[in-house]
Structures are given as structure tokens and as C-alpha cells.
Structure 1
């Protein structure tokens, strides 16, 4: 059995969340040319989580608009999951937990639902019948 990710109980895992701010952007790395591209892959934000006793990093996909909430604004995560990976360092490894979410929104606000930037269609739609 391979465990892909964990879907947490938001209230028990994070408790009350406060927005601390934007942390960083991650860009796609071109493996062929061995360099970073200008294509955005994800954004990372810091949240204060009462049940964790401190700040946690939450990663949002690039298609979600930049979040610019007030410092210490009450927020909630939309469909969070937790992934684990191992960073190898010589003969030892370190387990790293990553929190991924579809969005971060102001707590109790339905008007601030996920705003996703539409992707360009892969192929143009045509009515050609061949």
C-alpha cells in the first residue's frame, strides 16, 4: 500500500487560523536546460494555527490569485491535504510535511470563494468533422 496524502480534520489539526502573510513563490524548473523558468508553480503562505502552537506553511497552486489579507485576519483552508516527503542528507533523512490547499479564504465568507485563473484551452474548439 502506498499512502499518497492525508486529509486532516481541519478543526482538530489546525484550530483557528490567522493569516501571517505571503512567504515565497516557486517557479517551474526546466530539467532539460537545467534552469528556472518564469512559469509560476505555486505560492507559499504563513498561517498561525492555534492547534499547532505556531506558524505553518501552506502551499497554494499557481492558478489561485495572490492572497493579500490583513495581518492576523481570521482565515480558513479550502480542502487541505498533508503530504510527506524525505530529504536525504548523506546517510540520514529528514521527514518534511507539506500542507497543500485549494485556497485560503476569510473565515465564514462565501463571497470570497476560490477564484481560479482560467487556463488557456490546449486546442482550439472547432466544428470540423473529418
Structure 2
């Protein structure tokens, strides 16, 4: 059986989220033109304090213009795991995808 993704309990896993800025943009050449596939946005979590979180949104959602440190909410988040190797050691990078990232009600 293959693990496709995990759907987190956002309140318990991330707590309160605040917008921290833009992350990486993933592009791909399609029919000779470069198209945006996804956009990443960084958020701060009051529970996951060790690292800033990057949320990956599909390109069709469009670019977000959210004020810095504004409270945000994830729409349908999913966490995937990507394995990678450095030398003889294996590591896992957890990636959070969401359908959208919106301003939260205070």
C-alpha cells in the first residue's frame, strides 16, 4: 500500500498560522512556454516553532497578496513525504499542500 498523503488536524498540528511571505515558484515548460505549476508561501506556526512552514498552492489559485503576520487559514491541507539521500543516510522532507490560503477570522 502506498501512502499518498496525510490530512492533518490543522488546529492540533499547526495551531495559529501567520503569513510570513512568498516561497518558491515551480514552473514547467508546456508547448514551448514556461507556465507556473505551483506557488509556495511561508507561514509561521505557534506550535511548529522549529521551522517556518511552506505551503504549496496550485497555480490556478493565483498570487496571494496577504499582509505580513496576518492570521491565515489553510483550505483542505494535505501533507506528503519526500525521501532523499545524502551519502549513505536517508532523510524525509514533509511538504504541506493546500487548495488555498486565506485570511482567517480573528
TM (norm. structure 2) is: 0.89
Report the counterpart of residue 46 of structure 2 in structure 1.
Answer: 50
TM (norm. structure 1) is: 0.73
Q: Secondary structure of the residue that 1:12 maps to in structure 2?
A: helix
For structure 2, list consecutive stretches of 5 or more residues without a partner in the other structure: none
Report the counterpart of residue 16 of structure 2 in structure 1.
Answer: 16
Measured against aligned partners, the alpha-carbon deviations of 1:58-114 in whole angstroms (never above 9, x if no partner) come to 1001111101111000100000000001112343221110000000000039xxxxx
**Relative contact order higher in (CA < 8 Å, ≥ 6 apart):** 2
Instruction: Pick the aligned partner of 1:70 from 67, 70, 90.
Output: 67
Report the counterpart of residue 90 of structure 2 in structure 1.
Answer: 93
1:104 corresponds to 2:101: yes
Q: Tell me how many residue pairs correspond in the alignment.
A: 104
State whether residues 21 and 68 of structure 1, in contact with CA within 8 Å, keep that contact through their aligned partners in structure 2.
no
RMSD (Å) for aligned C-alpha atoms = 1.9
- Distance in 2, matches of 1:25 and 1:18, equals 20
- Distance in 1, matches of 2:40 and 2:59, equals 10
- Distance in 2, matches of 1:75 and 1:38, equals 30
Report the counterpart of residue 59 of structure 1 in structure 2.
Answer: 56
